[in-house]
Each structure stands twice: as structure tokens, then as C-alpha cells.
Amino acid sequence: MRYHHLGRVPPKRHVQVRRDGAGSSLLVEEVLGYEGFSGNHSILYRLRSPCAVERVGEFRAIDRDEWVPPAHVHRLADLNGVPAGGDPVTGRRLLMANADIEVWVCKPTEQGEGFYRNGEGDELVYVHRGGGVLRTQFGRVAFREKDYVVVPRGTTVAWELEDREQFWLVFHTPGEVETPTRYRNRYGQLLEHAPFSARDFHGPEELETRDEAGEFVVVVRVRDGHQRYVLGRHPFDVVGWDGYVWPYTFNALDFEPRAGRLHLPPPAHQTFQGPNFVICTFAPRMLDWDPEAVPLPYHHSNIQSEEVMFYADGDYTARRGVGVGSVTLHPSGLPHGPQPGTVEAALGATRTDELAVMWDTFRPLALTSLWQAHDRDEYAYSWNDAVDAG
């Protein structure tokens, strides 16, 4: 991200900064950064040491509950039937994972009792339904439907939920969630022809500085599990910060879609990158305009990637039997493309109102019992002329 700051920041780093002038206590400077001291970082000024712990609670390992499907085929799961419940952390249910990425479905109905921090990965939350405010030590970040909410590791958060249905996809990666390198110039600024600009990324706007004693539960994801702590002071005691690391939102409808005279491949829709994966936004757009154009994807054998697509809004013309809230997995090793009839039906179309979020991974994905519970195994046969995907 670009440079951003909120609150009180001294003119130089690593100097004495006092809370209220001479005689008052020193502020605690905390550098929060990637790649040791070489990556992007922010510097926060706190009222007290962030290391203080009142009590150390239990550690719970993450249970992955893998499902090994009986056959290697294209799959569809309808996530509308996943029951709601839990809070933004306990309500997460793992859908698929590999060493580079995990995808969880979360439909929280409760705020949660305390605070959460991912200490071993970046998180990206796609808000299919819902909205609210992500409270963090960097300040408050409002989020709404169709937002990608990007939360750098090390960010302590509390989710304030609007009183409405919440339906999220939560991505975790041990790597970094970034905008694609190829959209940036040598200084890091987004290029003029990138499908979004700095104005589309919304960071914290209001700092929340709490100087409170009490009991504050913080759950930290570390070592493939959740470690619970009780702090004696409110974790949001930051009076100012600046730097390049902060949580932000990007709304899927702010992605400026690309179209061509003839069909453009999925990288035209790329929105984020991570280690061995990409995330793309298929936003409502004009379709390929040559009179001879086939305005749907061509068949492809993705021999080195898994393609997963979540249908977020509108009507996805290339797929039969796929509705909003469902997800398809086209695994490596098999060709896929539009189902019979959909190409003929799409000829001459000038625009699509589809909105889909796609993640492609370069390493195989393992599925879980959550996928198994919502699997629609007839999807594997949906390319057969006589069989409808239903």
C-alpha cells in the first residue's frame, strides 16, 4: 500500500515522544513490518507496551477436517446452505486449503467477545453479504457488500457487525496479499492503465485511542492454531501511526473491467496476487465487440492450476445450473469451458451483469467436509448435451 498516517506522529523516528509534554510518560514506539526490517512497515506510537499480558489462556490447534473426494472431477458447491452462526473468528468454516491459501466460509451472527489477530498470515475477506466496521489499532475501517477487506498480519481487530445477514469468504495466506506487481511502476505507484487507482482503496479514517484498564481477550492465530491471551489494558492504545502497512477495503464494483474486440483471458481481471495464487474480479462489463467474436471463455486445459470461482451477483452466462452463492472448482488435469448451448446463446450479447470472484492456485487444493456437505456431484456431467446441471 501507499504511505498513510493517522493521529500524532513525531517529526523523526526513534526519538523521545511524551504523552502530554514534559514530565508525562514516554510513548512506546512499535515498528510493525514484513521481511524482517526490509519489507513494508508502519510505526505505531502507543500509550503502553504491547507486550504486557495479564494471563495466558489455552492454545487450540486448527482442525482441518479434510475430505478426499472419491473421484477427480469438476465440482460445484452451493454455499447458500451453509448455516450461519458464530462470530467473525469462531464462525469460520474451512472450505479448501493448500500450503499457500486457505478459504473459509463465515456467516457470523455474533460480534465476538474480544479481539483477534492473525500472527501468521494476511487475510482477505470478501463480503458477499453484510457490512459493518472493522475496528483495528490503525483505526476504524468501514466495510460493505462486495468489499474485499484486506487485513495485514499483526493487525488486532474487532468486527462491529451491522444487524443483517453476513456471508463472507475469508482467505488466509502465509504470504502477502498484494495488488499485482505488473500494475505498478518502479516506484510502486499504480500505473495509469491499472484497473484501479489509489483512490479506490480505503484505509482507516478515524483512530480509536483507548486508555482503559480491564480484561481484554485477544485470540492470536499462530503455529496453525489459536492462542488466547487476556490483557489488562485495551489493545487500541495507539495515538498515532504512519507507514505502508494498514488494513483497507476495495470494492469489487470499483474494478474497472477490461474487454476487447476478441475475448481477453482471465489475467485481465486480476485484482490481487499472493504466493502461488491470484484473485480475480469478473465485474459487470461490455462483451467482446467484433461481430465474429465468441463472447465467452474458450475451453482451456489449466494443466498447472486449480480454478475456483464464486458467483457473487448477476447471471453467469457460461455456466448452466450455477447460481449466486455457489462455487465451482475446476481442478488441474482436466479441460473445462462453457457448457453446450451457452456459446450459441451468448453470440451477439453486448454486455454481462455477472460478478464473480475467482481464485486460481498453482498447487492442488484439498477440500474439507464443508465442501462435501454442499457438493453437487451432478455438476461433473453438466457438459453432456442431454444432462442438465439442475
Strand 115-118 to strand 213-222: parallel, antiparallel, or no bridges (unpaired)?
A: parallel
In the bound state, the residue with its beta carbon closest to Fe ion is: 307
Cα gap 253→255, rounded to integer Å? 5
Q: How far is the CB of 318 from Fe ion (least distance, A)?
A: 9
Q: How far is the CB of 297 from Fe ion (least distance, A)?
A: 6
Q: How far is the CB of 300 from Fe ion (least distance, A)?
A: 6
**CB closer to Fe ion, 237 vs 307:** 307
**CB closer to Fe ion, 191 vs 334:** 334
**CB closer to Fe ion, 40 vs 270:** 270
- What is the 8-class DSSP label of residue 261? S
Q: Cell numbers for 307, please give them.
A: 480454478
**CB closer to Fe ion, 75 vs 172:** 75
**CB closer to Fe ion, 32 vs 308:** 308
Q: How far is the CB of 252 from Fe ion (least distance, A)?
A: 18
Cα gap 378→103, rounded to integer Å? 23
Per the CB < 8 A criterion, the answer to whether 7 and 238 are in contact is yes
**CB closer to Fe ion, 307 vs 354:** 307
**CB closer to Fe ion, 119 vs 297:** 297
Q: How far is the CB of 161 from Fe ion (least distance, A)?
A: 34
Q: How far is the CB of 307 from Fe ion (least distance, A)?
A: 4
- Following CA atoms 106, 84, 270, 75 in sequence, which dihedral angle do they give, to the nearest 10 degrees? 110
Binding site for Fe ion (CB under 5 A): 307
Q: How far apart are the first and last CA of the chain?
A: 44
- Which run of H or of E encompasses 299? none
Cα–Cα–Cα angle for 6, 10, 14, rounded to 5 degrees: 120
Residues 2-39: b if buried by 16+ CB within 10 A, e if exposed: eebebbebbeeeeeebeeeeeeeeebbbbebbbeeeee
Q: How far is the CB of 330 from Fe ion (least distance, A)?
A: 6
The number of angstroms, rounded, from the C-alpha of 293 to the middle of its chain's C-alpha atoms is 33
- What is the 8-class DSSP label of residue 156? E
